[in-house]
Amino acid sequence: MIIAERKPMPEIMEMISGIKKLLILGCRGCVAVCSAGGDKEVNIMVEAITLGKKLKGETIEIDQDVLVRQCDPEYLEPLKEKVKEYDAILSMACGVGVNFLAEQYPDTLVLPALNTTFYGANLSSGEWKEMCAGCGACVLHLTGGLCPVARCAKHLSNGPCGGSVNGRCEVDPNTPCVWQLIYDRLKRLNLSENMRKIMPIRDWTPSGEGGPRRRVREDLLP
């Protein structure tokens, strides 16, 4: 899922200075699962902004709503007329949601309440770990299911950099060297020979280096 975290409140308060009527819009997708932008967090945001404005002696009118997903036109369409009543929408979705709202509601200011950070897995309550960088050319079949793009600080494709010490990454000793993990896992799976397969120089175009990516599946088009 996409992991995001709330921006610092002073940054949010600065963003909404001058806004008189605000719609705070949450999302029940990934950001709800990672406790950044779901129903509970929207309630907290309403309270925090109300209190912040009160302390400054300012007034603001706030409405709130939470959509099933902010990245799907099906859920945005019903709000199309209503959003025109607001000076701004404070979106508590990931950056995808904010972009999509901005495109779908061209006359309404859309502000991000979250910082979108990475694609990750839930390790435990309150702990997430990056696992994929959305590179568009997956090599996990060669690396025992462990990603060298997202999990190696240098994004190396053909083994470790030589700086790892006792299985830890030289860039951050608190992080295991993913190439050590890949080696150990391939060995365990009797696939050690994969370490000898040279991956060609990576073409970063599928990862978005050539511009924003778009995918069309003809079989699903209306």
Return the ∠ at Cα 137 (arms to 135 and 141), rounded to 5°: 115
- Position 95: which residue type? G
* Residues 6 or more apart in contact with residue 33 via CB below 8 angstroms: 1, 122
Site string for ligand SF4, 138-177 (x = CB under 6 A): xxx------x-xx-xxx-x---xx-xx----xxx-----x
Distance CA 19, CA 88 (A): 7
| Binding flag, residue 132, ligand SF4 (CB under 6 A) | yes
| In the complex, minimum distance from the CB of residue 137 to ligand SF4, in angstroms, rounded to a whole number | 6
Q: Which is nearer to ligand SF4, 108 or 164 (CB)?
A: 164
Distance CA 86, CA 101 (A): 14
**Which one of residues 179, 182, 183, 186 is an interface residue with ligand SF4 (CB under 6 A)?**
179
| In the complex, minimum distance from the CB of residue 37 to ligand SF4, in angstroms, rounded to a whole number | 23
Q: Which is nearer to ligand SF4, 72 or 170 (CB)?
A: 170
Helix extents (H) in the chain: 9-15, 30-33, 39-55, 73-76, 95-104, 148-151, 178-188
Q: Which is nearer to ligand SF4, 13 or 156 (CB)?
A: 156
| In the complex, minimum distance from the CB of residue 132 to ligand SF4, in angstroms, rounded to a whole number | 3
Scored b (16 or more CB within 10 A) or e, 53-65 reads: beeeeeebebebe
| In the complex, minimum distance from the CB of residue 107 to ligand SF4, in angstroms, rounded to a whole number | 37
Q: DSSP assignment, residue 18?
A: T
**Which one of residues 33, 96, 109, 133 is an interface residue with ligand SF4 (CB under 6 A)?**
133
Query: Tokens 């029940």 correspond to what residue?
Result: 28
Number of residues that bind ligand SF4 (CB under 6 A): 24
Positions in the binding site for ligand SF4 (CB under 6 A): 132-135, 138-140, 147, 149-150, 152-154, 156, 160-161, 163-164, 169-171, 177-179
